[in-house]
Amino acid sequence: MSQFAISCRAPVVDVSISPNGSMELLSQLEVERLRNIGHGDVYELFRRCALAVLNCDDTFDSADEVYRRYPDFSIEIIQRTRGIKLRLKNAPACAFVDGVIISGVREHLFSVLRDIVFVSSELYRPQESPEPVAQGDFESIRVYPASSKHADVIKNLVFDVLRNAGLLQPRLLPDLIVCWGGHAISREEYNYSKAVGYQLGLRRLDICTGCGPGAMKGPMKGATIGHAKQRISKGRYIGISEPGIIAAESPNPIVNHLIVMPDIEKRLEAFVRVAHGIIVFPGGAGTLEEILFLLGTLMDPRNADICLPVVFAEPSTSQGYFKRVDRFLVQTLGEEVRQYYQIVEDDPVGVAKLMKKGMGRVSDSRRKTRDAYYYNWLLNIPEQMKSPFDVNHKSMAALELSRNLPPSELVVNLRRAFSGIVAGNVKDKGVRLVREHGPFVLRGDQTIMSAMDELLRDFVDAGRMKLIRETYNPCYTIEPVTSSRE
């Protein structure tokens, strides 16, 4: 029986919840391990991610704001002879209907338990740092081996998390389309992403996104209708998140398979390793981070034979959004970058046809190279792209954004710069750093910084940085420096 209470900040609920699915059947040793892990830094990580999942109807995209609204929320793992249950106190009331938790939210909650707590005994280790860590700072732990120089270790680690989540299905032909795009987009852009998703669903393609609102929700919502018309009852709507972003982009209720990766770099690696095709919709700094990670990977000469269709898709109301992105990419990385993507404007059917045709090429390529359909083992992700970037004022100011760098190195630093802006916009630690010490400072060559400044100003003017558009204050400043090539 649920007990409702009202907080001065938001309506809350006290309730106990039992699991369903794979976590219904646990040994007593596994249960005890879960309870032992449910304390300290890992517990705080789990608590915050669970709060993000329960806060499913919120319109805030600030993790800091979410935590302030529910300061007394707690979650306890209760041991039972036949398994576990979760005891929630002061949980967001929006996750419940007539005192009963929404089924999709319950699934997401136990997905968080599985990915954050259940695997932590194997994958998480304390971060080694000479500086003291603030209490409750869930970024005080990293996934081991975060600084490993061995690319195969990270590749296998990502595989282990995805396999443990039950995502990888070996008997399916390529059909998974990863869709990227912003959470703060216009209604017209949202409807367009939904129209594309509908056309993908009609062609029996599944959807994977970052699991949040906006362009992450639209393709899934459209695909559900397309799948229903094709009488597909087991369509996959996969959401991949990570602890730093999940509170700002709570999983949308359509997601039927949620995975919480350990950090942003492993989240991005998971996307490109499970993707059979990628569609990018308009977005803000986070979308540029994703694009740069993808291009930095595809530009690696070792990936010359990798087949991965990429389409930048926008409605006419976006007024040439991807032309501006394309101009930025060419100005910073060179003309050759255009060979890795195709821009399609105002044509949902055309986008879906390109993806469907691409699935045949991906199937042929995987058979030829004997790579798995469900996980792209042969994709080579540059080592620097895989290394976690600790966002702070010192690391942001130290980024070398210079035309003297080869494109393969510049793209890594550009990705990190946009990652830092995302952190300053919506991630708890980044927001606190900016509040306490002022904006991050980015320095680089005049040409690069001018191109970045122009693109970011466009994002701000279009309201792409935050959902609460009128209150946005940039978390960064840009300072051009003189270069020998200027």
Domain boundaries, the chain: 3-124, 159-369, 383-481
Q: Return the exposure string of 39-67: e unless at least 16 CB atoms fall within 10 Å of the residue's CB, then b.
A: eebbbbbbbbbbbbbbbbebebbbbbbbb
Domains 3-124 and 159-369 share a fold: no
The model's pTM: 0.87
Nearest CA to 144 out of 167, 112, 114, 121 is that of 121
pLDDT by residue, tens only, the chain of 486 residues: 344 443 345 688 888 888 876 565 566 666 666 666 656 677 788 888 888 888 876 666 666 677 778 888 988 888 776 667 889 999 888 889 988 899 888 999 888 888 876 666 555 554 444 343 333 344 444 454 444 445 678 888 899 889 988 899 988 999 999 999 998 889 999 999 999 999 999 999 999 999 888 999 999 999 999 999 999 999 999 999 988 888 777 888 899 999 999 889 999 999 999 999 999 999 999 999 999 999 999 999 999 999 999 999 999 999 899 999 999 999 999 999 999 999 999 999 999 999 999 999 999 999 999 999 999 999 999 988 888 899 999 999 999 999 899 999 999 999 999 999 988 887 878 888 998 999 999 999 999 999 999 999 998 888 887 665 556 788 898 988 765 444
Predicted pLDDT of residue 381: 93
Token duo for residue 234: 């087991």
Q: How many CB atoms lie within 10 A of CB 106?
A: 20
Q: What is the 3-state secondary structure (H, E, C) of the chain?
A: CCEEEECCCCEEEEEEECCCHHHHCCCHHHHHHHHHHCCHHHHHHHHHHHHHHHCCCCCCCCHHHHHHHCCCCEEEEEEECCEEEEEEEEEEHHHEECCEECHHHHHHHHHHHHHHHHCHHHHEEECCCCCCCCCCCHHHEEECCCCCCCHHHHHHHHHHHHHHCCCCCCCCCCCEEEEECCCCCCHHHHHHHHHHHHHHHHCCCEEEECCCCHHHCHHHHHHHHHHHHCCCCCCCEEEEECHHHHCCCCCCCCCCEEEECCCHHHHHHHHHHHCCEEEECCCCHHHHHHHHHHHHHHCCHHHCCCCCCEEEEECHHHCCHHHHHHHHHHHHHCHHHHHHCEEEECCHHHHHHHHHHHHHHHHHHHHHHCCCCCCCCCCCCCHHHHCCCCCCHHHHHCCCECCCCCHHHHHHHHHHHHHHHHHHHHCHHHHHHHHHHCCEEEEEEHHHHHHHHHHHHHHHHCCCCCCCHHHCCCCEEEEEECCCCC
Predicted pLDDT of residue 11: 82
- Is the domain spanning 159-369 CATH 3.40.50.450? The answer is yes
Q: How many CB atoms lie within 10 A of CB 373?
A: 19
CATH fold of the domain at 3-124: MCP/YpsA-like (3.30.1850)
Computed on alpha carbons and rounded to an integer, the radius of gyration of the chain in Å comes to 22
Predicted pLDDT of residue 148: 45
CB 308 within 8 A of CB 274: no
CB 343 within 8 A of CB 312: yes
Predicted pLDDT of residue 354: 97
d(C-alpha 220, C-alpha 17), whole Å: 27
d(C-alpha 329, C-alpha 181), whole Å: 17
CB 313 within 8 A of CB 425: no
